[in-house]
Homo-oligomer: A and B are copies of this chain.
């Protein structure tokens, strides 16, 4: 009984020290787009239950702190370097994290990383019901079992051993043709895979961007200059089901370093929802002055495709930029053709946009 008392004291101590209440979160200001809410997500990360170095709830705390709405903890099924100390239990990282996720209101998908030599490489399955059945030899069978559970399956970091080993093989074709492969990581950690970007465009696969983080995330917040690689998912409801539906429908954009990568269909409305141009607050004989507010978390980089307006513009994240448009006869609303150079609709192609300046 006395032993119980001190145990409670220790538990209280840990709670106070570790901080359950009062944790601070900095929302990431990516706007909603017409018809959809924008969730900030990371679907690839590890814990001590495979080769990561943190206890599972740490991944939830990080997500909350840096403004993520949804994550999946995806420990390797086959690669268990800590098994001498942490016996293999494939569902434990989810089970140990989910309580904390509910407290924080962070959506947590049960996931796992299916780990094969390259090619064919590694695959994540998320929205699983049970990871255990996935521990079986034949890769096609594993992916089938994941699909039987209704999982969303994507190919991870396809080129991380070079383009030769990271090529699209017969197994990929097989999985793709059966409809069991739904997406590919076009970005993993700090690396961009242009070939994966092309495959997603050609084959209507969902573009994913994830951190693949193994150690603790030291960030107190995500900033334009230093953030986790993540997937923006455009959902109709903020639930795991809403998320899965959006992923299966391909409604994503990837935020990697200073770039937004995605299908034009999704990054074009994201661009326009991010930018607010006020009517000019000053008109002179030969210029007008406008405030352009970038309400998103990514800097917007613009190159002029026309005559009017600055040749280049940088609109830093989450701030307002003063822009002077020089020229004669600037009455009425203006429509300036620009290219948003860091919004990639294809590996070699940026998003063309029109800056509309109201009257």
Residues of A at the B interface (CB closer than 8 Å) are 2-3, 5-7, 9-11, 13-14, 17-18, 20-27, 48-49, 51-55, 57-58, 61, 64, 76, 79, 81-82, 85-87, 89, 92, 96, 102-105, 115-118, 160-161, 189, 212, 214-216, 218-220, 281-282, 289, 291, 293, 310, 313-314, 316, 318-324
Contacts and interface: CB of A to CB of B under 8 A. Distances in A.
Given A24-B316, A319-B25, A324-B20, A218 B215 contact: no
| Oligomeric state, in copies | 4
Contacts of A323: 21-22
Given A24-B319, A55-B53, A85-B89, A216 B214 contact: no
A139 B87 CA distance: 32
A10 B51 contact: yes
Contacts of A214: 14, 17-18
Given A6-B118, A11-B81, A58-B215, 4 more contacts: A22-B321, A23-B321, A26-B318, A104-B322
A114 to B, nearest CB: 12
Contacts of A220: 218
Nearest to A309: B21
Contacts of A23: 321-322
